[in-house]
Structure 1
Amino acid sequence: MTERELISKKELLELTGISYGQLYRWKRKQLIPEDWFIRKSTFTGQETFFPKELILARIDRILNMKDDLSLDELAGKLSPLLYEAKLRKDELSKRNIVSRVVLERLGARDPDDTVYSFEQTLAFFAADQLLLTGEMSLDEADLLAQTMKEHFSKFEGKTCELWFVRKMGVSTFLLLSVPSEAYFESGTKVVARLNMAELAEQLQTKLN
């Protein structure tokens, strides 16, 4: 998959007008996920970067809500894996949150008035992302949905990654805690890695 666009801490502070202190206070209060703080080596030494689209959207939401809510109340609303949003199948399609192809495949037996949990919608959304890149087939989308259904709740709101690996035409999906390292036998290709907290944030943005 294409590498996500990053923004440096310096650029972020200049662009948003927030202070260093605010940024790290929000981190301590878990308004900004720990794994969005990405340390990378540069010619000047170690610098901190962030996933640009996600961090800008998150800071905009914090700034718009902080006058009405305490930081602790904000943390509850912004924790991306604790959303309780539920949507009907037909609404997901009408609002173009999940493609009709995915809904017809993964929700084939569900009537249009079926109400999906946020976790179910997230599985559909993840399948959509990978199908759009052309890296995954519909049969593999079934495997993704089954993996999410069986194991995602075990993380209890903690950040995890969905790994899509393939060897000699055989596909496997894994859910791993973050941070984590995984090692595979020779010839195994990591087709994609999805950070579920970031994906949940993208989905929540579409739901709003």
Structure 2
Amino acid sequence: MTEELISKKELLDVTGISYGQLYRWKRKNLIPEQWFIRKSSFTGQETFFPREKILQRIDRILNMKDDLSLDALADMFSPSPGESSMSVGEILERNIVSSVSINLYLETMDSVQQPILGFEKILIIYVLDKLLRSGDISLDEGRLLIRTLEAYFPEKTGRECGIRLTRKMGVAAFLLVPGDGEVYLDSEVKTVARLSMPACTEELKLRMSGSEGS
């Protein structure tokens, strides 16, 4: 399915932001360069954006810019991992993920001690938790997801990848899609769930910073 686009003119009208704000946020890396899509139109060249992504991003910028600097927001929106690490106890105390998801992840580790987890490990658990809470996956499928992410993210896929959960005749498979582009499957394969790793990274940074909902 082709991603729906929104023109620059419509974007400015819908959000109420100015041309100057839009391009300042671009220079500050709050809006990725690749979201500015140049296309031919009857008036010449026109700029379009992925509709859902840009509207969500601008809404978050407007809601958070009074509490965080533009540089802090740029770090929040970056797909790169933060320097943050947390103990299992702190993750549970702050309700970042559920105990079910933490324990399922710890099953895969050799250590008998509860470790300090870096951002990327917490991100894997966060993705697992989202899919478990949604009811899209079983515990066994959760273990498969952990193995898949541990093996291929981000070294093989890059940080801008997408996750697809597919099923065919009751058999689940996870696909990691570099660049989070479209995947074309045969008609008997059903896409059950789809997640963006950059979006999950952003959500997790917000939760870890305590800025969610601010």
TM-score computed with the length of structure 1 as normaliser:
0.75
- Worse-superposed segment, 101-110 or 125-134: 101-110
- 2:12 touches 2:18 (CA, 8 Å); kept in 1? no
- 1:26 touches 1:32 (CA, 8 Å); kept in 2? yes
Shift of the alpha carbon at 1:76?
A: 4.6
C-alpha separation in 1, matches of 2:89 and 2:34: 34
Cross-structure match for 1:127: 128
C-alpha separation in 1, matches of 2:64 and 2:122: 22
Let me know the Cα RMSD of the aligned residues: 3.2
Q: Secondary structure at the match of 2:102?
A: helix
Q: How does 1:110-125 map to 2 (within 5 A)?
A: 113-125=114-126
Q: Secondary structure at the match of 2:136?
A: coil
C-alpha separation in 2, matches of 1:76 and 1:91: 22
Would you say 1:27 and 2:26 are equivalent positions? yes
- 1:13 touches 1:20 (CA, 8 Å); kept in 2? no
Residues 13-39 of structure 1: CA deviation (Å, up to 9, x unaligned): 33xxx4222223322442223576799
Would you say 1:57 and 2:56 are equivalent positions? no
Shift of the alpha carbon at 1:175?
A: 1.2
TM-score computed with the length of structure 2 as normaliser:
0.73
- 1:163 touches 1:192 (CA, 8 Å); kept in 2? yes
C-alpha separation in 1, matches of 2:105 and 2:131: 14
C-alpha separation in 2, matches of 1:55 and 1:157: 24
Moved segments of 4+, more than 4 Å: 34-39, 51-54, 109-113
Residues 128-165 of structure 1: CA deviation (Å, up to 9, x unaligned): 11111111101111111111111112268641101111
- 2:153 touches 2:159 (CA, 8 Å); kept in 1? no
Residues 24-71 of structure 1: CA deviation (Å, up to 9, x unaligned): 3322442223576799xxxxxx975344555423444445443xx7x5
Q: Which amino acid in 2 is paired with 1:197?
A: P
- 1:90 touches 1:112 (CA, 8 Å); kept in 2? no
Q: How does 1:1-208 map to 2 (within 5 A)?
A: 9-10=11-12, 13-14=15-16, 18-33=17-32, 48=49, 49-51=51-53, 54-66=57-69, 75-76=74-75, 78-108=77-107, 113-154=114-155, 158-208=159-209
C-alpha separation in 1, matches of 2:37 and 2:133: 26
Q: Which amino acid in 2 is paired with 1:141?
A: G
- 2:79 touches 2:159 (CA, 8 Å); kept in 1? no
1:55 to 1:152, Cα distance in 2 relative to 1, 3 A: farther
C-alpha separation in 2, matches of 1:106 and 1:179: 24
**Please, which runs of 5 or more residues in structure 2 have no aligned partner?**
1-5, 39-46, 210-214
